[in-house]
Amino acid sequence: MKFMLMMHAPRGTGDWDVAKWAPADVRAMVGFMRDLNADLKARGELAGAEGLTPPAGARIVRAGENGTPVVTDGPFAETKEFLAGFWIVECASAARAYEIAARASSCPGPGGASMNIPIEVRAVGSAPEV
C-alpha cells in the first residue's frame, strides 16, 4: 500500500523560523532527514520525498475562462501551519506508515530537542473502475 506522509510545520512569526536556527541545528535536522530517507530507500519503502519552499511563494491556481489559469496568492495568510514537505512510502500496512511518520515527527530542532512535528498520513487512493 502507498501512503503520503505530509509534514505540517508551525508558521510562527515567519516561515518556520528555520533561518534563525544555529547552523549546527540546521545540519542536524537535514542530516536526520537524509538518514531517514536513506533508511526508507534501503528498505524499499521510499517512493518519493521532497521538502517544499516557504509558503510566501505558494500560489493557488484555478481554471478561468477558456481554461486559462487564474493565479492568486496562497496558502491563506490566516493558516497556523503549512505543508513543509512530504514522503510517499510503500509499505505493508497503515501501522508501518504510522511508525515512519512518528520517526519523521521526532526530527531534531533547536538544541537537538525533538520537534514533534505533526505528520498527516493518508493512503494513496486509486480512481474507481468505470
- Segments making up each domain of the chain, as ranges: 1-10+29-52+81-124
Strand partners, 59: 73
pTM to 2 decimals? 0.83
pLDDT digits (tens, 9 = 90+) for 8-40: 887 655 556 777 889 999 999 999 999 999 999
Give the residue ranges of the chain where pLDDT is below 50. none
Torsion of CA 116, 118, 121, 122, to 10 degrees: 180
Question: What is the distance between the alpha carbons of residues 55 and 52, in angstroms, rounded to a whole number?
Answer: 8
**CATH number of the structural domain 1-10+29-52+81-124:** 3.30.70.1060
Reading the block at residue 33, the C-alpha cell is 532527514
Q: What is the pLDDT of residue 108?
A: 93
Question: What is the distance between the alpha carbons of residues 103 and 125, in angstroms, rounded to a whole number?
Answer: 23
